[in-house]
């Protein structure tokens, strides 16, 4: 949080007011009367996160109906952004006074909930007090920043260890999941994901197969094509993995949940979940789908030899727009030179080019 001027507890503080109704204009006027002049109003909550990064508010006043499911989700999204930067208090004005609604909002990250219709003066005073508290916390921010860095390091370490557990029977050194993480981050950057999300997917992608911990070795390590019944069991690793990661407040594990659940979906809807296709598939899942298959094909598996980069790219291009997101495939093609420059990304030698590719079973 930016340092406040000595002339008042709110001088210089940035306040982002989100939503309509709830006498927003009256609230803005009351905030000004309290000396809180740097106020930005965003009527549409869907555009809030875009303004959030540019404005860098010290506090968010969310004027919306707290009974709608979108509001707790929006609070969670604000809290997720703040997790990777400085903590930003969220004050919610809610029309719904039920205790379970207030509890849910507070659990998702709101620091205060004001029942609506709100008194603008009360909102301004609560906002001022939260900013004053933020000013006190700012004096100790260096210590908090160190603690947040340590927490992030612990989160990354936990994610790495979870990925290692899932992969240990296939790759005892976790080489596959780490390569998938690095390649996913490379592709994410090329398709335009934010720097923050690129950093998150680097450590979330290795969790894609966490659900395989529940798959019997006789199926997981079978050196031959799976039967239909065995294939159904193998497919269950996506839903198992998503359940294992569900409910976390960690950005890495939250993205890992989506990746575990959706990394076997197909662009044309013929993946593990019938009907889920195109951009309905979360982008992290579409990215990891390409990275996972690329790595599986270019390295030896129990049922196949390692393919060359050329063989792999040719096959992926042959199913572009059917199995994979075309934009992610294009990002892979743009990354080929960078991939080829690092030997660990491809096990096969160039001499193997031209060998007839084997069926894809991964």
Which of 67-71, 199-203, 344-348 reaches the highest mean pLDDT? 199-203
Kindly report the number of other CB atoms within 10 A of residue 231's CB atom.
13
Q: With respect to CATH, is domain 150-352 assigned 3.40.50.720?
A: no
Structurally, at CATH architecture level, domain 14-139 sits in 3-Layer(aba) Sandwich (3.40)
Residue pair 93/116 in contact (Cβ under 8 Å)? The answer is: yes
Q: Which residues are catalytic?
A: 212
At 330 the pLDDT is 96
Task: Output the pTM of the full model.
Answer: 0.57
Residue pair 205/233 in contact (Cβ under 8 Å)? The answer is: no
Compute the C-alpha angle 238/108/100, nearest 5°: 105
Domain residue limits, the chain: 14-139, 150-352
Euclidean distance between CA atoms 295 and 293, whole angstroms: 5
Query: Can you tell me the mean pLDDT for 264-275?
Result: 90
User: Alpha helices of the chain — where are they, by DSSP H?
Assistant: 24-33, 48-55, 70-83, 99-108, 120-138, 141-167, 175-190, 195-204, 217-220, 228-235, 237-245, 251-262, 283-297, 309-318, 326-334, 336-340
User: 3-class SS at 17?
Assistant: strand
- 278: pLDDT strictly greater than 90: yes
Query: Can you tell me the mean pLDDT for 353-362?
Result: 37
Give per-residue pLDDT as tens, 53-103: 778 888 888 886 544 556 666 776 676 665 445 567 888 888 777 777 777
Q: Which of 128, 136, 130 is nearest to 8 (CA)?
A: 128
Euclidean distance between CA atoms 250 and 257, whole angstroms: 11
Q: Which of 9, 19, 34 is nearest to 71 (CA)?
A: 19
Answer yes or no: same fold for 14-139 and 150-352: no
41 alpha carbon, distance to own chain's centre: 26
- 331: pLDDT strictly greater than 70: yes
């Amino acid at each position: 949080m930016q340092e406040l001027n000595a002339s008042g507890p709110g001088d210089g503080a940035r306040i982002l007011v989100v939503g309509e109704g709830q006498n927003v204009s009256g609230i803005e006027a009351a905030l000004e009367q309290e000396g809180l002049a740097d106020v930005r109003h965003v009527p549409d909550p869907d555009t809030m996160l875009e303004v959030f990064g540019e404005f860098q508010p010290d506090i968010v006043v969310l004027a919306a109906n707290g009974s709608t499911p979108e509001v707790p989700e929006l609070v969670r999204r604000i809290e997720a952004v703040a997790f990777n930067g400085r903590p930003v208090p969220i004050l919610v004005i809610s029309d719904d006074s039920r205790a379970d609604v207030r509890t849910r909002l507070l659990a998702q990250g709101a620091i205060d909930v004001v029942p609506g219709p709100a008194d603008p003066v009360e909102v301004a005073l609560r906002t001022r007090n939260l900013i004053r508290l933020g000013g006190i916390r700012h004096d100790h921010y260096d210590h908090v920043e160190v603690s947040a860095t340590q927490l992030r390091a612990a989160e990354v370490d936990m994610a790495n260890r979870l990925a290692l557990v899932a992969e240990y029977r296939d790759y005892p050194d976790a080489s596959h999941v780490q390569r998938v993480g690095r390649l996913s981050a490379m592709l994410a950057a090329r398709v335009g994901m934010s720097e923050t999300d690129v950093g998150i997917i680097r450590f979330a992608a290795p969790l894609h197969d966490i659900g395989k911990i529940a798959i019997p070795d006789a199926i997981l390590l079978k050196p031959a094509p799976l039967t239909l019944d065995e294939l159904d069991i193998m497919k269950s690793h996506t839903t198992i993995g998503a359940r294992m990661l569900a409910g976390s407040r960690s950005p890495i594990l939250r993205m890992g949940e989506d990746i575990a659940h959706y990394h076997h979906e197909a662009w044309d809807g013929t993946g593990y979940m019938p009907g889920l296709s195109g951009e309905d598939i979360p982008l992290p899942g579409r990215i990891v789908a390409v990275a996972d298959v690329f790595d599986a094909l270019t390295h030896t598996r129990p049922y196949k030899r390692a393919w060359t980069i050329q063989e792999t790219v040719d096959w992926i291009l042959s199913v572009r727009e059917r199995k994979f997101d075309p934009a992610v495939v294009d990002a892979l093609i743009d990354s080929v030179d960078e991939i080829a420059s690092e030997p660990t990304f491809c096990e096969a030698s160039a001499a193997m080019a031209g060998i007839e590719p084997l069926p894809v079973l991964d």
